[in-house]
Amino acid sequence: MIISPSHITNTQRGILLMLAASFLFSLTMLTAKLLAGSMGAVEVTFWRNAVGLGVLFVFLYRKPIHNIGGRPYTLIFRGVIGTIALLTFFYTISATSLSNAIIYAKTEPIFTAILAFVLLGEKLKLRAVFAIIIGFIGVVTLSGLEISYLHIMGILTGFLSALAYTSVRSLKAHYDERTVVLSFMFFGVLIPLLLMIGAEFITSEAFAFALNVFVMPHGLAWLWIVLMGFAAAFGQLYMTRAYYYAKAGLVSTISYSVILFASFFGVLLGDVLPSPLIMAGGLLIIMSGILLAREK
C-alpha cells in the first residue's frame, strides 16, 4: 500500500524534512572535504556563502521580505559569529574525519542550554544539568584527554554556533527568517574575502584557521563548489520547515542523523575508523544533545 502525500501527518513531514536536511548538510561536509585538498577553510567558507546568496536571492525575488526591525546590532552579531563558527567548522573538516568534525559541532546544544540560562534567564531543570555534565564528559573523552589546536577549534565551533543560535531567538519577533540567513551569508562572503586579502600580508599560527590566501578553483572544484552551495542552502531551508511542522525536541533529535550520513561519506573518502575512546566521547555528546532536545 502506497501512502499519498495527503495522508502524511505534519510530524511525519517534519521528520522527513529533517532527514533530508541532515543528508544535505552531510553532503555539504563531503564537498568541503573534497575542496580542502586544493583550498583553505576560509575560501571554502567564501564559496559556500557566495553560492548560497545566489540561491537565497531567487527565493527573495519570489517572495519579498517584510521586517519589523529594531535590532540591527544583534542581526550583525549573528552574521559575524555565525561566519566565524563556519570558519572553525570547515577547518576541523579539513583537519580530521567527517564523523569527528560533526560530533565537535554537535556540542552546540550543550553550550546553547548554558547560554540560554546565562543570557536569556531560561531555567535549567535537573535533567538538563545532568545532560550538560554528560556532554562535557564526552567532550573531554573525545579529545583523547589532550588539548590540541584541532580540539580547541572543534569546541569553538560548538560554542560559537550556540552563541549564534541563541541570538536568533531574540531576532525571531523582529525579522523574517530569510533576513537572518541573509545576514549570515553576507558576512560569510565579506569576512572571508577580507581574510584572504589579509593573508597575503599576515601570518599567524594562532589564527591559522582564518588566514588562507585565495586559490583560483579549477576542474572538478567548480562542481564541488556549486554542489556545496546548493546543498547548504536547501539544507537550511528544509531544516527550517522541519521545525515548522514538528516539535523542536523531536526535530533536534532527528538532526543527529547527520552523524550517520557524514560517517558514511567519511568511509567512502577513506577516513580511519575512530578509536573506542573517541567513539565513547561521541556517544556521550550525542546522548547529551538528545536529552537536551527532549527538554524543548
Domain assignments of the chain as residue spans, ordered by start: 21-293
Q: Which residues of 28-55 are buried (b: 16+ CB within 10 A; e: fewer)?
A: bbbbbbbbbebbbbbbbbbbbbbbbbeb
pLDDT single digits (tens) 165-185: 888 777 777 887 778 888 888
pLDDT at 1 over 60: no
Instruction: State the pLDDT at residue 2.
Output: 45
Instruction: State the pLDDT at residue 6.
Output: 57
pLDDT single digits (tens) 117-151: 888 777 888 888 999 999 989 888 887 667 788 88
Q: How far is residue 7's CA from residue 20's CA, in Å, rounded to a whole number? A: 19
Judge contact between 158 and 106, C-beta under 8 A: yes
Task: Tell me how far apart the 2 most distant CA atoms of the chain are, in Å.
Answer: 65
Q: What is the mean pLDDT of residues 261-266?
A: 91
pLDDT at 38 over 80: yes
Instruction: Find, among 2, 25, 171, the residue nearest to 102 by Cα.
Output: 25
Instruction: State the pLDDT at residue 145.
Output: 63
pLDDT at 194 over 90: yes
Instruction: State the pLDDT at residue 121.
Output: 79
Judge contact between 292 and 110, C-beta under 8 A: yes
Q: What is the mean pLDDT of residues 244-257?
A: 81
Q: Name the amino acid, one letter, at 295.
A: E
Instruction: State the pLDDT at residue 231.
Output: 94
Instruction: Report pTM.
Output: 0.88
Instruction: Find, among 232, 225, 197, 179, the residue nearest to 25 by Cα.
Output: 232
Instruction: State the pLDDT at residue 188.
Output: 94
Instruction: State the pLDDT at residue 291.
Output: 86
Can you spell out the DSSP letters for 80-115?
Answer: HHHHHHHHHHHHHHHHS-HHHHHHHHTTHHHHHHHH
Judge contact between 104 and 156, C-beta under 8 A: no
The pLDDT confidence band at residue 3, using thresholds 50, 70 and 90, is very low
Instruction: State the pLDDT at residue 296.
Output: 61
Q: What is the mean pLDDT of residues 249-254?
A: 81
Instruction: State the pLDDT at residue 156.
Output: 93
Judge contact between 52 and 232, C-beta under 8 A: yes
How far apart, in Å, are the Cα atoms of 45 and each of 32, 232, 289?
9, 11, 26
pLDDT single digits (tens) 71-91: 889 889 989 999 999 999 999
Task: Enter the DSSP assignment of 258.
Answer: H
Instruction: State the pLDDT at residue 239.
Output: 84
